[in-house]
Each structure stands twice: as structure tokens, then as C-alpha cells.
Amino acid sequence: MPHLLHIDSSIRGEQSVSRRLTARAAAVWQAAHPGGTVAYRNLGRDPLPHIDEAGGLARMVPAEQHTPEQRRSWELSEELVDEVKRADAVLLGLPLYNYGVPSSVKTWVDLLIAPGLSYDPETGAGLLGDRQFVVVTSRGGGYGAGTPREGWDHAETWLPHGLSQTGLAPRFIAAELTLAPVVPAMAELVPLHEESLSAAERAIDELWAPIPAAA
């Protein structure tokens, strides 16, 4: 039975553009996979514990030497990796915060990087690459070529590197200038925002579109 892992990370609740777009994507996936199942994790509402001094070495110490704190940290990695392994597709909502990923997403990535779970420590081969990974990003400003802040979006450039050991390869769909409708100084950019949002919605609607039957 097809299975989708849907993850959101926005802290803006119902006002979140990324959450609205991932909800649209999840609905498109479900329409294309009748009977499929969906697991949902909201990192913005229920963040994972950061890797700390007490448990962080769990990924570098043999299991039989784990302290109780390291055992709990390792078990959390097992849980998160299992969530990904059960999924045929992973959908991540990724707002841009202070020009990078939300700290909750960085923690999710850090916990996924676990030898023997998400990658083979002997060969270095990723163990999570045989699934689709769609990342829906929202950016309050504009970061495209020729803009004053070109290259300031460090989330989209970092995530493929952060997850490279696992084999997960993200496909990005982005909506830009999401602050234009609510920031008076950006009012003249509203048409560009609407154009970007419409393009993102079209890309989402085509993600799992039925393949036409051969004539």
C-alpha cells in the first residue's frame, strides 16, 4: 500500500504558506494513490530535541556502550529513519528562516544521519534513496538571479548536502515573496508573489498527475 510521510516545519500555524502548499501536495498525492496512507509530523509544533552532549555521541559509540541518554537519542534516530523507510514519498514543508532552514529541520537531519540506519558505514552508500523526496519551500523575499539578495537562500543549497549521506535527493518547489501581501513596503511586489505562488501550485498539481494511457 503506498505511503506518504508529510512533514511541516513552519511556526506560523494556519498563516503558513508552506503548510498550505504541503497540504495541497498531500491532497494531490492521496488523489493519485487511492487507499494510500499518510503519516504526519509537525516539527514547528512538536520539535525534536536537539542533539546534546548527553546523547549526541550515540552515533559514534557502539550500542552496547550507550549510556541511558545515548540509548534514548539512538532510539529517536531509529524512529525517524523508520518513518522515512516506510514511505514511498516524503513531503517536507521548508520555510526560509533567517536565510537558512528552521532549526527543527536541522535537528531532523542531524538525527537522520546514523550509521547502519540511513547509510552504510563501510561503503558510505545511502540507504534512503529509493523514494521520492519533495520539498516545498516558501521565502518571504526574493532570492533569484539579479535580485539584491541573490545567493542568500542557504536552505535550498544546504539541504541536499545535509542529507547527501542518506541518499535522499530533494526536488524543490518554491514560492517567493510571501511577505509581499502583508508588508506595505513590498506592495509593488504582490504581482510577482502571485505569479510565483501560482507556478508553485501548478508544479504541485503535476507531481502525481495520472500518466495518459498509450493510444
> Does residue 110 form part of some domain?
yes
Q: What is the pLDDT of residues 28-54, one digit of tens each?
A: 999 999 999 999 999 999 999 999 999
CA–CA gap between residue 50 and residue 112 (Å, rounded): 12
**Residue located via cell numbers 552532549:** 53
Distance of alpha carbon 173 from the chain centroid: 11
Does any domain span residue 37? yes
Rounded to whole angstroms, the Cα distance separating 130 from 153 reads: 27
Assigned domain for 214 exists: no
pLDDT at position 210 is 64
Q: Is residue 76 part of a domain?
A: yes
213 is a domain residue? no
| All residues at 6 or more sequence positions from 131 whose CB lies less than 8 Å from its CB, including other chains | 84, 87, 88, 89, 90, 168
CATH of the domain at 139: 3.40.50.360
Question: What residue type is assigned to position 55 of the chain?
Answer: G
Angle 80-85-88 from CA coordinates, rounded to 5°: 125
Which tens digit of pLDDT belongs to each residue from 61-111? 999 999 999 999 999 999 999 999 999 999 999 999 999 999 999 999 999
Under 8 Å between Cβ of 127 and 118: yes
Give the whole-angstrom CA distance, residue 7 versus residue 10.
10
* DSSP code per residue over 9-29: --SSGGG-HHHHHHHHHHHHH
**Spatial contact of 139 and 177, defined as CB atoms under 8 Å apart:** yes
Q: Is residue 35 part of a domain?
A: yes
Question: What's the chain's average pLDDT?
Answer: 95
CB-CB contact of 18 with 95 (8 Å): yes
Indicate the pTM of the whole model.
0.94
Residue 209 pLDDT level (bands cut at 50, 70, 90)? confident
The answer to whether residue 198 is domain-embedded is yes
Residue at grid coordinates 542529507: 163
- For position 212, what pLDDT does the model report? 55
Q: Look at residue 44 and tell me if it is in a domain.
A: yes
Predicted pLDDT of residue 133: 98
Domain that holds residue 53: 3-205
Size of the chain in residues: 215
Q: What is the DSSP letter of 9?
A: -
Q: Is pLDDT above 70 for 16? A: yes
What mean pLDDT is predicted for residues 114-136? 97
- Cα 18 to Cα 69, 83, 142, 178, 204: the distances in Å are 34, 21, 15, 10, 12
Q: Write the secondary structure of 68-89 as one string of H (helix), E (strand) and C (coil).
A: HHHHHHHHHHHHHHHHHHHCCE
Q: How many domains in the chain?
A: 1
Decide: helix, strand or coil at residue 19. helix
The predicted structure's pLDDT at residue 121: 96
Residue 181, pLDDT above cutoff 50: yes
CB neighbourhood size of 23 (10 A): 16
Residue 193 grid cell: 508573489
Banded pLDDT at 215 (limits 50, 70, 90): very low
